[in-house]
Amino acid sequence: MTISLQNGINTLIGQIDAPIASFFSSCVHCGLCADACLFYTETLDPKYTPIHKLEPMRRLWQQEYTFWGKLMQKVGLSKPVTDEDLAEWEPLVYDSCTLCGRCSMVCPVGNDIVYMVRKMREGMVASGHAPEGLKGATQRAIELGSPMGLNINTLNAQIKHAEKDTGLTVPMDVEGADYMMVLSSAEIADYPEIIGAVTRIFKQANVSWTLASDGFEGTNSGIQIGSSDLAAEIVGRIVHAAERLKVKFVISPECGHAFTALRWEGPNLIGRPYPFKVIHIIELLDELRSSGRLKTEGVDETRMTFHDPCQMVRRGGVVEQPRNLMHMVAPNFVEMPDAGVQNWCCGGGGGVSANHRAEPLRVKVFSRKKEQLDAVNAKTIVTSCSNCRTMLLDGLENHHMDTEVIGLTELIAEHLADNAEGKAS
Amino acid sequence: MEQEMLLWVRGTGLQIATAVFVIGMVYRMLHIFMLGRKKSLAEARGSEWSGGFRTMWKRSFVTTKLSARGNFTVIAGLIFHLGFFVTFLFLSQHIDLIRAVLGFGWPAMPRGVIDIAAVLSIGAMIALLVHRFIDPVKRMLSDFQDYLTWTLSFLPLLTGFMLLREIGFEYITLLTLHIASVELLLVIAPFTKLAHMFSTFIARWYNGAVNGFKGIEI
């Protein structure tokens, strides 16, 4: 047995806790989870059945923790986990799972399958079986500070544009601000208009906020690849910056996995509770709305729909807030079938979008999203995750669909009431 | 000889089987709990307990839209489980046994209802087995234990129905076979996926607790 395989197996066994033991003990191989997974529904290939993606881990659980497994080992009917098995499972664990968590909602015995996939990835990384694309993104995040290779200079350039467009100052490294805003790589690189949008909204709502030069990047490839050590280092930069600036809140950007990394996994990764609270930008905007600090004027009559990012809704519990905001400005807002906690993934979450090998499969399974979109025939899709946004744009382009995609924060900023200073002309 | 066999399965055999079932199942469940889990250091937005209990109950009803194969599995699975528990808990002879052991019982259901429940349950089990052979997802997932546990669950239903109708063998033989099949189920259950009869509720609780902690209403 190679050292990397031994590492992988030890890590996988180490990941097995009471929830996982209860899940594997309960699975009756009913196959219902297949119906919840877009990689199965769009290909009808049984290998994409969610629980099957965990087969090496299940075998290890059985061999290590059950009487049956020990008995099978004694009589020579046990099948050890090999390097070949892990190599075969790598595309199943990474390319065909976006960690969307839909399977965890359907399992009749209650198995939280995505909880297990997240942990299985820890073992895959330890055994050296992770996709090159994700390895590269994680390496850039560790060495350069961002999975897309962006740095503070890139951000400063975008800030200059935002300041020129809005006539407002974008606060940087302001000690004692209430809120510290974090951005995602995709926002800085592809959707920098978010910087101007939040600057104007916070100006109107009189929010005390700042960006941090040493903690501006929320995208966490460590979570996606399944390396808690690296994920801790990435999230640790934000924690360090927030503590340095003594902020009360850190605002998670429009990025699903950044929210999961910051809000739910972060304290466990660094091994202590935060001295600040984490709030998603959409949660904050809705709070500002309900307290009367966020005021909009005019509406957009376009037929719009809202795409729920999995990590925000099903795995994050931010369900009503985006709808409250949509209703402020979009009178013709329509819901897709399965909207809300049952929404279908864009196909690119959980590191799939950074994994080039997965692209043909990702493009194929977009047909599920297309079916949802076709049902409502909206002219504009609004979302609150920059990765979903890119995936939607890509999918729409591939299907030659003439549909616009925008971020919810920008939509709100476009309709800020006149009394807002710095309103773009 | 037949009388002796019956006496053994009704006496010593049943005692051994019950003891193995109870001790084995308690050990299996304790073993799950003893693996533990890390307490989350993130700030909770809701209650783990209420989320856990909500999912323990709500997951009995699948609300996600399913394909035809999924709907078939849910409906056939529901019929099998309901039929199994109706025959187990509401046949007068079973209630007599429970009263003799525990000192209390409850009213039985009419034989006609039990007959229908048993037939439906047996039919659903056969349909589920056929589906396991022909459905590509289930066929790929299935291993020896799936077929073993199907057999162990099927035999008490089948022998029980044959006993009520006195089909195939003499009454004493059928009664012996029926009790023996139940004992086989009891002895093997704690060591196979039949343990899901209890672990399901632990699994549902953990799943719901994660959502409850995050304040997600699922």
| pLDDT value of position A149 | 80
Structural domain for B124, as ranges:
2-24+65-197
Q: Chain A contacts of B40, Cβ < 8 Å?
A: 264, 267-268
Distances (CA, A) of B147 to A28, A63, A235: 11, 19, 47
In this predicted structure, what is the pLDDT of residue A422? 46
**The pLDDT value given to residue A419:** 60
Residue A112 belongs to what domain range? 3-130
Query: Does A157 lie in the same domain as A220?
Result: yes
Q: Domain count of chain A?
A: 3
Kindly state whether residue B155 falls inside one of the protein's structural domains.
Answer: yes
- Examine the fold and report which residue of A237, A266, A290 is the final residue of a domain before the chain moves on: A290
Q: Is residue A232 part of a domain?
A: yes
This model of the complex carries an ipTM of 0.96
Q: What is the pLDDT of residue A423?
A: 45
Q: Can you give the CATH number for the domain in which B102 is found?
A: 1.20.950.20
On whether any CB of chain A is under 8 Å from the CB of B69, the answer is yes
The answer to whether A90 touches A131, Cβ cutoff 8 Å, is yes
The pLDDT assigned to A218 comes to 93
CA dihedral A242, A243, A245, A248 (to 10 degrees): 70
Cα dihedral sign, A274-A279-A280-A281: negative
Same domain, A165 and A266: yes
Give the three-class secondary structure for A105. Answer: helix
- Are residues A113 and A155 both part of a single domain? no
Query: Which of B26, B28, B64 to mutate against chain A (most A CBs within 10 Å)?
Result: B64
Q: Which of A130, A161, A183 is the last residue of a domain?
A: A130
Distance from CA of B1 to the nearest CA of A (A): 34
Nearest CA in chain B to A115: B207
A181 with A264, same domain: the answer is yes
What whole-number distance in Å separates Cα of residue A7 and Cα of residue B64? 38
Half-sphere exposure of A228 (CA within 13 A, CB side): 14
Question: Are A30 and A121 contained in the same domain?
Answer: yes
- Asked, for residue A83, whether it belongs to a domain, the answer is yes
Q: What is the pLDDT of residues B59-117, one digit of tens each?
A: 998 888 999 999 999 999 999 999 999 999 999 999 999 999 899 999 999 999 999 99
A21 and B146 within 8 Å at the Cβ level: the answer is no
Residue A377 lies in a domain: yes
- Name the percent of chain B lying above pLDDT 90: 94
In a domain? residue A419: no
Provide the CB-side half-sphere exposure for A15 (13 A, CA).
26
Q: Is B58 on the interface with A (CB under 8 A)?
A: no
**Which of B:176-195 have CB within 8 Å of A?**
191-193, 195
CATH number of the domain within which A121 lies = 1.10.1060
Among A130, A155, A175, where does a domain finish?
A: A130
**Predicted local confidence at residue A389, as pLDDT:** 97
Task: Please indicate, yes or no, if residue B106 is contained in any of the structural domains.
Answer: yes
Alpha-carbon gap: B7 to the closest alpha carbon of chain A (Å): 31
Q: Is residue B97 part of a domain?
A: yes
Does residue A75 sit at the B interface (CB-CB below 8 Å)?
no
Residues A95 and A158 in one domain: no
Is B32–A273 a contact, with Cβ atoms under 8 angstroms apart? no
The answer on A277 and A351 residing in a single domain is: no
- Compute φ and ψ for A280, nearest 5 degrees: -75, 145
Whether the CB-CB separation of A360 and A378 falls below 8 Å is answered with no
**Does residue A376 lie in a domain region?**
yes
- B165 within some domain: yes
Does a structural domain hold residue B174?
Answer: yes
- Who's near A118: CB < 8 A, 6+ residues apart? A99, A223, A226
How many domains does one find in chain B? 1
Tens-digit pLDDT profile for residues A144-165: 888 888 889 999 999 999 999 9
**A-to-B residue pairs, Cβ atoms closer than 8 angstroms:** 181
* Structural domain includes residue B143: yes
Q: Are residues A18 and A114 in the same domain?
A: yes
Rounded to whole angstroms, how far apart are CA atoms A82 and A88?
Answer: 10
Minimal C-alpha gap between A7 and chain B (Å): 20
Identify the residue among B207, B210, B211, B218 best suited for mutation to test binding to A, counting A beta carbons within 10 A and taking the highest: B207
State whether A12 and A102 are in the same domain: yes
3-state percent breakdown (helix, strand, coil) of chain A, nearest 5: 55, 10, 35
Q: Is residue A299 part of a domain?
A: no
pLDDT at A239: 98
A28 and A126 belong to one structural domain: yes
CATH number of the structural domain spanning residue A409: 3.40.50
Three-state DSSP class for residue A5: helix
> Which tokens in the block code for residue A329?
């400005």
**Are B146 and A108 an interchain contact pair (Cβ–Cβ within 8 Å)?**
no
Q: Of B43, B60, B137, which to mutate for an interface test with A (greatest number of A Cβ within 10 Å)? A: B137
Residues A159 and A239 in one domain: yes
User: Which residues of chain A are modeled with pLDDT < 50?
Assistant: 422-425
Answer yes or no: is A338 within a domain.
Answer: yes
B7 and A CB contact within 8 Å: no
Instruction: Indicate whether B176 belongs to any domain.
Output: yes
Contact B218 A314 (CB under 8 A): yes
Q: Which of B34, B62, B203 sits opposite A106 (nearest CB)?
A: B62
Residue B39 resides in a domain: no
Pairwise CB contact (< 8 Å): B196 & A27: yes
- Does A78 reside within a domain? yes
Task: Classify each residue of B114-134 as buried b or exposed e, where b means 16 or more C-beta atoms within 10 Å of its C-beta.
Answer: beebbebbbebbebbbebbee
Q: Where are the alpha helices (DSSP H) in B103-195?
A: 111-134, 136-141, 144-165, 171-188
Same domain assignment for residues A183 and A258: yes
Which residue type, as a one-letter code, is found at position A271? G
Closest CA in chain B for residue A65: B31
Is the per-residue pLDDT at B211 higher than 50? Answer: yes
pLDDT digits (tens, 9 = 90+) for B27-51: 999 999 999 999 999 999 999 999 9
Residue B109 has a pLDDT of: 97
Task: Provide the pLDDT for residue B196.
Answer: 97
